[in-house]
Amino acid sequence: MTVVDNAVYVHGERSREPDSLDRTLEMLRTHGADDGFAWIGLLRPDADEIDRLAQELSLPPLAVEDAVAAHQRPKLERYDDVEFVVLRPAWYVDEDEDVQVGEIHLFLGQDFVVTVRHADTPDLSSVRSRLEADPSLLARGPRAVLYAVLDRVVDDYLPVTRGLRNDIDQIETQVFGGDPSVSRRIYQLSREVIELQRAVDPLREVLDGLVAESADDPAQIELHRGLRDVADHTAQISESADNFRQLLGNILQVNAALVGQRQNEEMRRLSETSLAQGEEVKKISSWAAILFTPSLIGAIYGMNFENMPELAWTFGYPFALGLMVLASVTLYLLFHKRGWL
Question: Could you tell me the CA-to-CA distances from 116 to 61, 87, 122, 319, 336 in Å, in that order?
Answer: 15, 10, 12, 111, 89
Nearest to 210 by CA among 131, 138, 150: 150
Q: 85 forms bridges with which residues in the sheet?
A: 76, 106
Percent of the chain with pLDDT over 90: 35
**Residue 201 burial (CB count, 10 A):** 16
d(CA 115, CA 83): 12
d(CA 38, CA 5): 10
Checking DSSP bridges between strand 37-43 and strand 112-117, what pairing results, if any?
parallel
The single-letter code of the amino acid at 275 is L
In the prediction, which pLDDT does 305 show?
A: 56
Q: 113 forms bridges with which residues in the sheet?
A: 39, 108
d(CA 241, CA 196): 7
Nearest to 14 by CA among 101, 133, 162, 99: 133
Q: Which residues contact 74 (CB under 8 A, 6 or more apart)?
A: 86, 87, 88, 199, 202, 203, 206
In the prediction, which pLDDT does 151 show?
A: 95
CB 13 within 8 A of CB 6: no
291 half-sphere exposure, CB direction, 13 A CA radius: 6
For the chain, 341 residues long, give each residue's pLDDT as a single digit of tens.
Answer: 578 888 888 888 888 888 777 788 777 766 655 668 899 999 888 777 888 888 888 899 989 888 888 788 999 999 988 999 999 999 998 888 889 999 999 999 988 999 999 888 888 999 999 999 999 999 888 999 999 999 999 999 999 999 999 999 999 888 888 777 788 889 899 999 999 999 999 999 999 988 988 877 777 788 889 999 999 999 999 999 999 999 999 988 888 887 777 777 778 887 777 776 777 777 777 777 767 777 766 666 666 656 666 666 666 667 777 777 777 778 777 767 777 66
Q: Domains along the chain?
A: 3-260 (3.30.460.20), 279-337 (1.20.58)
d(CA 124, CA 4): 9
Angle at 177 between CA 175 and CA 178, to 5 degrees: 70
- Sort residue 99 into left (φ over 0), alpha (ψ -120 to 50) or beta: beta
Q: Tell me: the pLDDT tens digits for 171-197?
A: 988 888 877 778 888 989 999 999 999
